[in-house]
Structure 1
């Protein structure tokens, strides 16, 4: 049965990449959580999608220019039309403290394809080892060099290649650089794509699948996982395909 990964947590109903979004995703029985990491000026791994804080918080400027203590004063829910409750940008450490009490899988996307973050891979893997979460983690990035490096540091942690444009036989490309999966934009995915990849031993987890028709099509084609903003909807639809 296909798995459901909550895109930036349960982002259809809660502020993206916040602890409440992750906790609510787990409550609706999402199999996994997809989140994004950047690094602060003093080297702390924090969970936020954009290189700048402007879109999702009440602050402005680049994450890399903030000290951790200062970025934690920002409100990560200020741009969300919710109940007005203030929320902090989580650290990866904080997330792991919660995650270790669950059986959930975590897809960590390294946001290092636009800005280089020195030793991001090493720091992340060291933290994962501290918590003993190696078997519950999947790495992904649009920076495929980063995924090769992660595999070299710790080949026991699964890696996946993100891409938004077409790649010729991506399952062969993934195999060649020792990736375990591919995370394509959902518009690139069809039945043949899924079957070719999965038969080659490469898992397909498409993003961001919010259309119920696409969910049904991909699930019936044997996709490994859907990455979606609405894990509750996806779980209800995928349950129809349970053996």
Structure 2
């Protein structure tokens, strides 16, 4: 029986400040198989790990990520909403995450936070960084902007790509194949057991996001999908390991 992998969404974000090194390190300690994170560029062109286009929700400052330099972003408290923590946590760079990945065997799903009109500078820089660290076989590129991952596939076909989507797609494996993707990352509630099995039978990995409730995790484990992406990796690993 195939064992479904567990990916920690923005790290162990259900119990730690999202997209921080602490959340990623916690996911490893919880025996997750991989992590998921989001990347953007700072004002001075550095690759930083943060989800929203603005810093308002996850830090103690306000404004667009792209308007701050790395030095300014590094001064922000990325854990200010977590009042019980005894120290501040910060926005990491992708370099910091990759340095850490070199100490373990986790898979890393990199989500591009970009739009159709961007210059593809972010994608080009991330591809080069993956190659510099020789992490090609441990990285998955995903995005809701499918132009972004198609570009990545064109310039780096050795790195897996997987489109993110939140609405049902008819025969998703056909769409994945049409853009050179080896996986799909659907919202957990929009893909059926039949579609999961058919997609995987056609050689395309299926990793639904963001699966947090016990009953939904159990359902997807029973379908034996490739992986689940969850805010609560400890719970997912516990439920998964009881099943297999």
TM-score interval, smaller chain: over 0.9
Secondary structure at the counterpart of residue 120 of structure 1 = helix
Shift of 1:88: 1.1
Residue 19 (structure 1) aligns with: 21
Residue 59 (structure 2) aligns with: 57
Q: 1:29 to 1:115 in 2, by over 3 A?
A: farther
Alpha-carbon distance in structure 1 between the residues aligned to 2:7 and 2:78: 21
Superposition RMSD on alpha carbons, in Å?
A: 1.2
Q: 1:115 to 1:28 in 2, by over 3 A?
A: farther
Residue 35 (structure 1) aligns with: 37
Residue 192 (structure 2) aligns with: 190
Q: Deviations over 1:134-174 (max 9, x none)?
A: 11100000010111110111111000000011222211101
Superposed, which structure 2 residues align to 1:61-80 within 5 Å? 61-80=63-82
Say whether the 8 Å CA contact 2:187–2:210 is kept in structure 1.
yes
**Structure 2 gap ranges (5+):** none
Alpha-carbon distance in structure 1 between the residues aligned to 2:19 and 2:68: 18
Say whether the 8 Å CA contact 2:184–2:204 is kept in structure 1.
yes
Q: 1:87 to 1:121 in 2, by over 3 A?
A: same
Alpha-carbon distance in structure 1 between the residues aligned to 2:84 and 2:183: 35
Say whether the 8 Å CA contact 2:116–2:148 is kept in structure 1.
no
Residue 213 (structure 2) aligns with: 211
TM-score (norm 2): 0.96
TM-score (norm 1): 0.96
**Structure 1 gap ranges (5+):** none
Aligned length: 242
